[in-house]
Every structure is written in C-alpha cells, then in structure tokens.
C-alpha cells in the first residue's frame, strides 16, 4: 500500500501497528466481550490519529474491526474543530451492549453518540462526551438494521442514505454525502468492507450477506470514494473488517483493493493537501 501511495505523490509517514489482539470468547463479560482490548486498541489508534491531526496530515487507518473508528474520531477531537463522519457499512452499529450479541464491533456509533447503555470505557475515550452528535453522523449503505437501531435513527434524526438509493446512482449518493459533510472542519470516512457484495469480492470478515450477494461492487465503492475524498475538508479514511483468509486469491484481491484506494487518493495528493 505504501509504495502505491508514494507513486501517486503521497509522502507517507508510517506510524506502525498497534498491539495485536485476536477476538476470543469472553464468557465473563458476555454482553461486552473483550472490552479492555477494544478500549486499548481504540486508545492507541487515537494517539496516532491525534499526532497526524496536530501535524495537519491526513490519516489512513487500516483495521481491525469497526471499533477502531472510536479511536479515529477521538483522535480528531484534539481542538475545537467540528467533525463529521460518513459511515459506509452494511450495518448501522447503533446497538448498545444490551441490545447486541456481545461483539462490540456492532456498537461503535452508539458509543460515539453516548447512547443510553453505552459503556464509559468506550464513550469516554475522547476529550468530549459524547464524541459526536447525531447530526454529525451519516449512515451510508446500512441495510442490516435492527429494530432498536431503527428507533434510534428515527428518534435522533440520523441521516441515512440507503443501499438501494446508492446502488441506483452511486455518484449522486456520494455527492449528497459530500454536500452534507461540507459544513465540518474535518470530514472522516469509515468503510466496513462488508458493504461490498461478498459474492463478487469475498474479502470481508462478515460473510452473512454472502448468500444474497447484497452490497456494493468494488467499482461502485471506488466511484464513491473518488467523490468523497476530493472534499477539501476530508481528513481521515478508515478501512475495517478485512479478512484475507476469505479471498480465493489474496494477492489479486488486495491488488484490486489497493488499486481502487490509490486511484481515489491520487487526486488528493496532486492537490498538495
């Protein structure tokens, strides 16, 4: 990834990996499994992102599950700048532990918004709490939404661009999201790879959409990122929930993914951000 970015003009500062932790059953904490590891990982990401923001750099964060976005958001809240998050994911991640099944990676947005039932270890990671208000989050492509999440979206007026609308016209949907994000000082983009159709590009950790082939094509996601990352206030891109073991040809799959990301990021480098 780094050589590809350097070839299109980026100066890359690799801040290194955070300590590795593999998810495991946590019977002693069944509603918030591996909470300490999730907190520590998000905190480590936050420190690196904060350094990038302090140095007026853009951040590219490669995960990891979706809880790393807690660290990305916390790291951008180093001053009084306003922050908006475009959350590209097949899920809404608006569950709190009591309405989820124990894996915290489906609770990230709920903790950013500090919804009732959120855990202080995660919702309190940033310099302010809540990290974000509902008006500062846009859900892009969520289609596996639980009943409690639907109620949260409605009661908090969370902006949501549905997958069907995106599939009908990816560029128009991306332009809507970019226009929504124009008012923020820092615009963040989060991608859970499960937003891609698993039958076409089987590289996501989550395979439950696979039989239906639901999701975006890689080319559609590329068109969307071409538009979103060109926003003058874009500051961070997170890629989460990759599992190379699911790819029939890991080299080819990662080559395609890197090519798509590089194409989207190349004009940003040319603009000398």
The pLDDT value given to residue 270? 76
Verdict on whether the full-model pTM lies above 0.95: yes
Confidence band of 271 (pLDDT split at 50, 70, 90): confident
Mean pLDDT computed over 221-238: 98
The pLDDT value given to residue 272? 60
Quick check: 86 and 177 in contact, CB under 8 A? yes
The pLDDT value given to residue 205? 87
Mean pLDDT computed over 35-60: 98
Q: Which of 189-198, 203-212, 253-262 has the lowest mean pLDDT?
A: 203-212
Place of tokens 């499994």: 33
**Going along the chain, which residue ranges are E strands?**
59-62, 83-88, 137-140, 159-161, 186-192, 234-240
Whats the size of the chain, residue-wise? 273
For residues 48 and 65, what is the distance between their CA atoms, to the nearest angstrom? 17
Which residue segments constitute the domains of the chain, with CATH numbers given?
A: 2-270 (3.40.800.10)
Mean pLDDT computed over 68-96: 98
How crowded is the C-beta side of 61, counted as CA atoms within 13 Å? Answer: 39
pLDDT in tens, 58-81: 999 999 999 999 999 999 999 999
The pLDDT value given to residue 95? 96
Mean pLDDT computed over 191-208: 89
The pLDDT value given to residue 206? 79
The pLDDT value given to residue 211? 45
CA 143 to chain centre: 16
Within 193-236, residue ranges assigned H as helices are: 218-228
For residues 78 and 90, what is the distance between their CA atoms, to the nearest angstrom? 29
Helix axes 68-76, 35-54, angle to 10 degrees: 30
For residues 88 and 109, what is the distance between their CA atoms, to the nearest angstrom? 12
Backbone angles phi, psi at 117, to 5 degrees: 100, -5
The pLDDT value given to residue 188? 99
Of residues 105, 123, 54, 66, the one with CA closest to residue 239 = 66
Place of tokens 């009908």: 168
Mean pLDDT computed over 7-11: 96
């Amino acid at each position: 990834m780094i050589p590809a970015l350097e070839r299109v003009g980026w100066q890359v500062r690799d801040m290194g990996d955070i300590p590795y932790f593999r998810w495991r059953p946590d019977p002693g904490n069944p509603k918030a499994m591996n909470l300490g590891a999730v907190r520590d990982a998000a905190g480590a990401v936050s420190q690196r992102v904060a350094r990038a923001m302090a140095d007026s750099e853009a951040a590219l964060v490669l995960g990891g599950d979706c809880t790393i976005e807690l660290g990305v958001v916390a790291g951008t809240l180093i001053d009084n700048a306003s922050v908006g998050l475009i959350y590209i994911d097949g899920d809404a991640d608006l569950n709190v532990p009591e309405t989820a099944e124990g894996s915290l990676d489906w609770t990230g947005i709920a903790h950013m918004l500090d919804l009732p039932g959120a855990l202080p270890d995660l919702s309190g990671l940033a310099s302010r709490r809540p990290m974000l208000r509902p008006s500062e989050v846009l859900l892009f492509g969520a289609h596996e939404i639980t009943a409690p999440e639907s109620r949260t979206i409605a009661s908090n007026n969370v902006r949501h661009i549905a997958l069907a609308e995106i599939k009908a016209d990816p560029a128009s949907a991306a332009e809507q999201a970019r226009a929504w994000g124009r008012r923020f000082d820092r615009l963040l983009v989060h991608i859970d790879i499960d937003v891609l159709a698993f039958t076409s590009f089987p590289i996501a950790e989550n395979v439950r959409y696979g039989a239906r082939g639901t999701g975006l094509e890689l080319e559609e996601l590329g068109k969307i990122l071409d538009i979103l990352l060109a926003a003058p206030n874009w500051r961070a891109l997170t890629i989460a929930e990759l599992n190379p073991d699911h790819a029939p040809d890991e080299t080819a799959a990662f080559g395609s993914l890197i090519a798509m990301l590089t194409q989207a990021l190349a004009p940003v480098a040319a603009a000398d951000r």
